[in-house]
Amino acid sequence: MTHTLVCFGELLLRLGAPDRELLLQSPRFDVHVGGAEANVAISLARLGHSVRMATVLPDNPLGDHALGELRRHGVDTRAVQRGDGRMGLYFLATGAGVRPSEVLYDRTGSAFARAAPDAIDWQHALDGADWLHLSGVTPALGSNGAKAAQRAADAARARGMQVVFDGNYRSRLWQAWDGDAPTILRGLLGCADLAFADHRDIAVVLGHEAHGNTPRERFVSAAAAAFAALPQLQRIASTVREQHSVDHHTLSALLCTRDGDLVTAPACTLTSIVDRIGGGDAFAAGVIHGLRRNMTDADSLHFGLAAACLKHSIPGDFNRVAEADVAAFVADGRLDVRR
């Protein structure tokens, strides 16, 4: 029997300044569909999984386009609702040299943000599913999003499903409505079997300042605190990014288990980066892929890191690579032309 993974969150339109210009330096944008949970859904669908997207889209041509993108990549849309409100947007000015990239959200009043907490029928949305993926972006959008995310997590837990939670802490979104991030995020993280979070995410939730002088030491310290506080949690994974310039990063990955095992994936050097947006979502999808395919923790982590690295070469939010592409990169990392 084929089981389905359900992703719940908002789809957005990304309006990017072209050619690394500042926003509105010239009066045009490059447009992509994105959103953290949709990025995971599409990546997993392209890796061969049965994936369903639960969301609320506006009933207008922009919502039609986003819905069409999900379908084009093979994502099941039966749990997509249409509602009043606008399409959520975000604007991106890609950095260059010493100038960092900048993201400007424009999501207030979107159909997803305005939707009632019970807009999604979770009995229907979770039918035939065995995993649920959520992120910290959804509760950051307002009280409706926070209640909806918790209802989704509770419904999945009641069914005995695996719950995945990606921290994705967005301070500006929380500040916009003065939401109680620690309390709300702790409720969601407490339902998770697998979390994607670094020591900063865990500090927000638990108020725990990680100890250590290196990213690895801080991650291990934070993971130990999370396992002690959250008995449902079994695994925590995170990337570690070192930025040398906008176009030159070093990316590695870590995974801790409740049993105290620490798995590492060695650093990969990324140069001539095309687009880093969605890299964390590609990592999450890659790790989930490995675990759903019964890979070891180590192999799942390596697969996730490889998927994240490949995403940096692809414009837009979505990671469009297939399983064979990632497996080839894991095997040898060579960049020879395939003939």
pLDDT tens per residue, range 278-315: 999 999 999 999 999 999 999 999 999 999 999 999 99
- The listed CATH number (3.30.300.30, 3.40.1190.20, 1.10.230.10, 3.90.1150.10) that belongs to domain 4-234: 3.40.1190.20
* Those residues with Cβ within 8 angstroms of residue 55's Cβ, 6 or more apart along the chain or in another chain: 8, 9, 10, 11, 37, 38, 79, 80, 81, 112
Q: Are 150 and 194 in contact (CB under 8 A)?
A: no
CA 45 and chain centroid, separation? 14
Average pLDDT over residues 108-126: 97
Please give the Cα distance from 184 to 295 (Å, whole number).
Answer: 32
Task: Tell me the whole-structure pTM to 2 decimals.
Answer: 0.96
C-alpha distances in Å from residue 139, one per residue of 8, 171, 190, 195, 298: 11, 12, 14, 16, 31
Region of poorest pLDDT, from 59-63, 121-125, 171-175, 301-305: 171-175
What are the beta bridge partners of residue 133? 7, 164
Burial of 226-246, coded b for 16+ CB within 10 Å and e otherwise, reads bbeebeebbbbbbbbbeeeeb
pLDDT at 44 over 60: yes
Residue from 259, 209, 252 nearest 236 by CA: 259
pLDDT given at position 332 = 77
Query: pLDDT tens, 324-339?
Result: 999 999 987 654 434 3
- Please give the pLDDT value at position 333: 63
The model's pLDDT over 220-265, given as tens digits with 9 standing for 90+, comes to 999 999 999 999 999 999 999 999 999 999 999 999 999 999 999 9
Domain limits, the chain: 4-234
pLDDT at 235: 98
The residue count for the chain = 339
